[in-house]
Amino acid sequence: MKRIFFRNRAIELAGIIHFPNGFDETKTYAALVLATPGSSVKEQVGAIYAMKMAEQGFVTLTFDPSYQGESGGVPRNLEDPSVRVEDIRCAVDYLMTLPFIDELRVGLLGICAGGGYAVKAALTDRRFNAIGTVVANDIGRAFREMQTREDLLKMLEEIGRQRTDEARGAEPRFDPWIPDSIKIAEAVGITDPEVLEAVTFYRESRYRHPNSSNRLLFTSYIHLLGFDAFNLVPELLTQPLQVIVGGRRGNTGQYKNGKALFNSSPAAEKDFFVVEGASHYDLYHKPDYVNQAIERLTLFYSKHLSPNPSYLALLEAQARTQPSCRAS
């Protein structure tokens, strides 16, 4: 494991590379970029999956998004889908500078909102040769579907007023992604089991992390509410695709979104896998369910990111025919 830094334009992003057992930097490896859920930092869900995929032989990079966690950027706690997508592209830019990464064996794995961001990045970045998602969510659609059209329009008016106030010197507004504790959730009448599972995981379990603030810059919604992760999937997502969902269908929409993603993709090779009995948040951290996802992902990436003998032979032939560059 190694802490690294790379840039998305003027912003420095903090990441962690997880290496396979017996890693040898003189060899080349298949690699994965891992996109984390909204509000999550690299030490939480990303670390769970990155460590396990590294154990399966893949160099795996997970990182904090721009404006969040240890990564730079102001204003803090901004969630801008276009920036999140570009973060992913910049992560693969960084991998391409490493001599032990095989540039034709790079895959992408996204979890929850990171699944939607991963798909969006893969639509136009063909360096990603295989795409995997776990409980993928289109965060823009999710927020739009949480409210009526009338309430949505009222919210957009409120966002505009807040931006105007901040332009005139007002303090930024930050809202919690989820309640800060089970006690607070119960006090305001929240009974949805998936919301309570989210609160437990992020705020009251051993996976709570000080860099995960559970705060969202309110004006982020001006970006979130207009975002569509999957609109170009039928036209552009032709890379091999692995979609993993939980069998327990809750209010996050992970099963519905995963099925829609799978059905709309024109990929010649794609797979839809249900982890029976698992909820959205079970697939974040519960070993019985996570291990099933890891097993499926390992089969998928091992198949589609395996060394290509004809390509390797071509490289060797080119190396033999190209003149060497020596200092005179």
Q: What is the DSSP letter of 325?
A: -
Contact 38, 112 (CB under 8 A): yes
Closest CA to 122 of 101, 95, 92, 83: 92
Using DSSP bridges, classify how beta strands 59-63 and 101-111 pair: parallel, antiparallel or unpaired. unpaired
What pLDDT is recorded for position 307? 77
Contact 133, 109 (CB under 8 A): yes
Distance, in Å, from the CA atom of 193 to the CA atom of 179, rounded to the nearest integer, reads 13
Contact 97, 103 (CB under 8 A): no
CATH topology of domain 2-144+229-306: Rossmann fold (3.40.50)
Q: Structure tokens of 310?
A: 């004809």
Rg (CA), the chain: 21
Residue type, 57: G
What pLDDT is recorded for position 306? 87
3-state secondary structure of 231: coil
What pLDDT is recorded for position 279? 97
Using DSSP bridges, classify how beta strands 2-8 and 11-18 pair: parallel, antiparallel or unpaired. antiparallel
* CA dihedral (44, 254, 278, 57) positive or negative: negative
Instruction: Give phi and psi for 137, each to the nearest 5.
Output: -140, 140
What pLDDT is recorded for position 311? 46
The residues spanned by each domain of the chain are: 2-144+229-306
User: What is this structure's pTM?
Assistant: 0.92
Residue recorded with tokens 């823009």: 140
Per-residue pLDDT tens listing for the chain (328 residues):
999 999 999 999 999 999 999 999 999 999 999 999 999 999 999 999 999 999 999 999 999 999 999 999 999 999 999 999 999 999 999 999 999 999 999 999 999 999 999 999 999 999 999 999 999 999 999 999 999 999 999 999 999 999 999 999 999 999 999 999 999 999 999 999 999 999 999 999 999 999 999 999 999 999 999 999 999 999 999 999 999 999 999 999 999 999 999 999 999 999 999 999 999 999 999 999 999 999 999 999 999 998 755 444 544 555 565 544 433 2
Using DSSP bridges, classify how beta strands 270-275 and 241-246 pair: parallel, antiparallel or unpaired. parallel
Helix (H) or strand (E) holding 32: strand 29-35
Instruction: Give phi and psi for 133, each to the nearest 5.
Output: -135, 145
Q: Structure tokens of 179?
A: 């309640």
Count how many Cα atoms sit within 13 Å of the Cα of residue 249 in the half-sphere of its side chain. Answer: 7
Helices within the chain (DSSP H only):
45-55, 81-95, 113-124, 139-145, 149-167, 182-187, 193-204, 221-224, 233-236, 254-264, 282-285, 287-304, 309-321
